[in-house]
A and B are shown apart, each in its own frame.
Chain A
């Protein structure tokens, strides 16, 4: 059985047909918007960006920073977890040995290419010692050359503060918590 198709045509009155009245109505609408925006209450949702900014959410991922130990040395132990986790492969680390037996390694070179970075935050998740963070709230400033977008260890440490997390040294280790009853059976 053939399907029956019901054709519904738009009912157009002569007012619609001559089109001119509808044009005037449309003009009325756009002009109303224009005059309201000119003299009345502005409906523009625009944010005049460099002068006006919106407040970013607390978990906004900005430019990276490298956290410090209490003595100001970098917390990073050059474990390569962040550079392994990085989907954009923008973290370059060259490890070196330290004399401190509780640390063993530190990054001699730690560079992040902020142009390659996709701001995913996986490096922060991967870091076992709270060394790398993206909580500066800063945008990467514009650069004139691509090389200038590569932030080194010194640049990243300049944004840093001592981390509140404990790790190595004289303080209780961050991996074992002997005073905590939950760790009693370990």
Chain B
């Protein structure tokens, strides 16, 4: 969405640096149009379709957050269901005290973010693989802890109060708008965070953590920020799920603390393209299509998604969006920079120059 200022500058003799090879003002305008069109969906789309879209938007929000964690900060968490579940409960508790569930959404998001702080303190001692399992253990421990409280449903769950007065169609529309708002905010937050200082810091860490550290980059702080932002996003998504299902059910199979939530977000990111903002969007679409076509075959969609994700990780690690980007050099959300060779203009595409949007080319291997 950055307007390239020097589009007309004569540049035969000097190097130029812009955000993107292409002019992104159009994608900015396109994004706004898309949001308006999506926002108008409740007026001309059936409720059943809207309900599916709500699921898709939840997965999209989660995937964007997981992408920020794993794709940009190298933090492979398999315990994001902890924040997803906490978000649902942080929505349920105010709702039980008379707050409208929609108004409680910010509480759910902030609550999950605050909970992330002490958890980070524990997790920051572990790296990569052990970090991954530790997040899982923590998610399990948090679930067991929450199930201790009978007043919020214990181990069996609780219906969400405060939404009984709504007409079902109106409620579906409100839920959809809330889900859309959360997803748009999540993607926008990731985009603007990565465009700013944090994006630069994360790139520096990814390229050489030691060098970054010795140049004064606060590595721990950057990771903490990413972890908290991801928790906020997952918490908001959990709140949406509570509103969508009109109940909060804990438990590892089918409940808000199921690891399947993390599996879904991770697979969507990997298939779409890890380390790009567009990847989770593409991945979520693939995920929803697969889920809807295979839903009558029980667990098969997760088996297929898992196999596809493994194959993509091994053989096309930049995912579907990476394949598109290699071919056409498109960036809807440029967070890095493009280095123009002397004399290169927008019309003449030189082979071999490639794109220099470095943060977006996150290397999974690092």
Real complex partners, A and B? Answer: no
Interface residues of A (CB under 8 A from B): none
Interface residues of B (CB under 8 A from A): none
